[in-house]
Amino acid sequence: MVNICCIGAGYVGGPSSAVIAYQCHDVNVTIVDLNQARIDAWNSDNLPIYEPGLDEVVFARRGKNLFFSTNVDQAIIDADLIFVSVNTPTKKSGMGAGMAADLAYIETATRRIAEVATTSKIVIEKSTVPCRTAQSMRTILEANSSKDIRFDILSNPEFLAEGTAINDLTNPDRVLIGCLQTPEGFAAQQKLVDVYSRWIPKERVITMNLWSSELSKLAANALLAQRISSINALSAICEATGADVDEVAYACGTDSRIGPKFLKASVGFGGSCFQKDILNLVYLSEQFFLPEVAAYWKSVVTMNEYQKMRFTHRIVRTLFNTVTHKRIALLGFAFKKDTGDTRESAAITLSSYLIQERAHVAIYDPKVSAKQIKLDLTEPGVGTNEAEVEKHVEICNSAYEACAGAAALVICTEWDEFKMAQLDYQKIYDSMQKPAFIFDGRLILDAPKLREIGFRVETIGKSA
């Protein structure tokens, strides 16, 4: 029986390790975290994260070969393979603040492994880290453990997307495993290949050197975000010229060299990864004295910020240049559909801007709690404080409740339940102030049909 320990029971550690347990019944998987509340939630009927299909996977294996615990030391002692899936947020202060990844959590976890391990381990970087982090981990492990224990380090970055995580983990495009190009490195790599090969076709388990593997994760996220910023930049040109961004994206996407994915214009990308990983790449480029490369990648983030501001300015401009005291219904607060994750969500920027303009913001999201929304809006750096949020924000229990009496409705997240087939837009129109405005920040609505009802519709990438 192989024993796996995963340090970090978050959006990545939880689902990715649960799928290993689900696919390999003879592998014991223990997911550990310092956060007692998070572990309690993983052990309850109400899992700490919303992800389609996750409940089934966890409930099928929990207590059999899948365990959640705060006993980090015991799980390390028992494990043959240890995944490090802790958070690596952008540094908030000190050297590289606002750009470099904060590796403090990685270092703490690595030191813990060195301190408590009594047998040799394969330590696997699952978190997204700057290139050559594995080298620092190795140095820490070797300097803090007894000489008869061996540590092999692998890089196994995670490519799951929130909202489709279980499908991505069950049927991934590829799994990447990087190792030191030594006999011991190859042997460790093979052990992890053996785990994944139980359910993933061999040709999709790609092996390479450690540094390529680490950099590939940053590169993949940078390329994905770059496509979104590219189509968003084009959406501004569409609005100015009368071109339609959906038509332009379709025309470009049918070219097999370009392909159709990630060409959907929107109010801007969010999530915990894209911005953080690009900034990480920017910092790396600067450290290697590559200022042109740094500036190139930085522009992807700059364009994203611009898109969010452009959309909010359009809202204010259209509402006769003032939103003061106007009720604005914000539909969706998660950074994308099918997740409750709000990290870097465009809705945060939008809400904060509208609050500063003294609008009354009525927010509804099917999976984000009122507590989380208020927490996000009062985070340092967001620009709104507790008193302002109390005064200007109302959290609603349905889209209908948010829209009743509103001057405008803004689609921030592309949840299916906001689509035309699922919401009664006639009912919404009847309940709103007139003229009733809709701002579609996700291109999910049928503007001509809404105009027939009587709405004034403004859509990203289309002139009014």
Short-list 84, 154, 74, CA closest to 122: 154
Residue 173 in tokens: 């495009």
276 annotated as ligand-binding: yes
DSSP letters, 160-226, are --TTSHHHHHHS-S-EEEEE-SSHHHHHHHHHHHHHHTTTS-GGGEEEEEHHHHHHHHHHHHHHHHH
382 annotated as ligand-binding: no
x/- track of binding to ligand NAI for residues 414-453 (CB under 6 A): ----------------------------------------
29 annotated as ligand-binding: no
Whether residue 348 contacts residue 377, with contact meaning beta carbons closer than 8 Å, is answered with yes
Instruction: Give the shortest CB-124-to-ligand NAI separation in angstroms.
Output: 12
219 annotated as ligand-binding: yes
393 annotated as ligand-binding: no
Instruction: Give the shortest CB-241-to-ligand NAI separation in angstroms.
Output: 35
Q: Which stretch binds ligand NAI (CB under 6 A): 105-113, 190-198, 300-308, 438-446?
A: 105-113
If the CB atoms of residues 164 and 318 are measured against ligand NAI, the closer one turns out to be 164
Please report whether residue 20 would count as binding ligand NAI according to CB under 6 A: no
| Residue 318 amino acid letter | T
Residue 1 in tokens: 């029986």
Whether residue 90 contacts residue 101, with contact meaning beta carbons closer than 8 Å, is answered with yes
Q: Which of 10, 268, 332, 366 binds ligand NAI (CB under 6 A)?
A: 10
262 annotated as ligand-binding: no
Instruction: Give the shortest CB-106-to-ligand NAI separation in angstroms.
Output: 8
If the CB atoms of residues 13 and 366 are measured against ligand NAI, the closer one turns out to be 13
Instruction: Give the shortest CB-406-to-ligand NAI separation in angstroms.
Output: 32
Helix (H, G, I), strand (E, B) or coil at 450: helix
Whether residue 395 contacts residue 370, with contact meaning beta carbons closer than 8 Å, is answered with yes
DSSP letters, 357-394, are TT-EEEEE-SS--HHHHHHHHTSTTSS--HHHHHHHEE
Q: Which of 81, 86, 355, 395 binds ligand NAI (CB under 6 A)?
A: 86
Please report whether residue 134 would count as binding ligand NAI according to CB under 6 A: no
Q: Which of 19, 122, 160, 328 binds ligand NAI (CB under 6 A)?
A: 160
DSSP state of 90: B
Please give the span between the terminal C-alpha atoms of the chain, in angstroms, as a whole number.
62
Which residues on adjacent β-strands are paired with residue 409? 329, 438
x/- track of binding to ligand NAI for residues 106-125 (CB under 6 A): --xx----------------
Q: What gap in Å lies between CA 159 and CA 175, rounded to an integer? A: 8
If the CB atoms of residues 68 and 353 are measured against ligand NAI, the closer one turns out to be 68
Shortest Cβ contact with ligand NAI: which residue? 10
Active-site residue, selected from the candidate residues 5, 179, 238, 273: 273
Whether residue 1 contacts residue 28, with contact meaning beta carbons closer than 8 Å, is answered with yes
Please report whether residue 349 would count as binding ligand NAI according to CB under 6 A: no
Instruction: Give the shortest CB-450-to-ligand NAI separation in angstroms.
Output: 33
Q: What gap in Å lies between CA 450 and CA 424, rounded to an integer? A: 11
Q: Residue 42: CA atoms inside 13 Å, Cβ hemisphere, count?
A: 29
Q: What gap in Å lies between CA 428 and CA 265, rounded to an integer? A: 25
CB atoms within 10 A of CB 279: 23
Catalytic site residue 273? yes
Helix (H) or strand (E) holding 456: strand 456-459
Residue 147 in tokens: 């000489």
Q: Which stretch binds ligand NAI (CB under 6 A): 17-25, 60-68, 156-164, 360-368?
A: 156-164
Whether residue 118 contacts residue 149, with contact meaning beta carbons closer than 8 Å, is answered with yes
Please report whether residue 220 would count as binding ligand NAI according to CB under 6 A: no
x/- track of binding to ligand NAI for residues 378-397 (CB under 6 A): --------------------
Residues in the site for ligand NAI, rule: CB under 6 A? 7-13, 32-35, 38, 72, 85-88, 105, 108-109, 127-128, 158, 160, 162, 272-273
Catalytic center residues:
273
Q: Which residues are annotated as a binding site for NAD(+)?
A: 8-13, 33, 38, 86-90, 127-128, 162, 273-276, 343
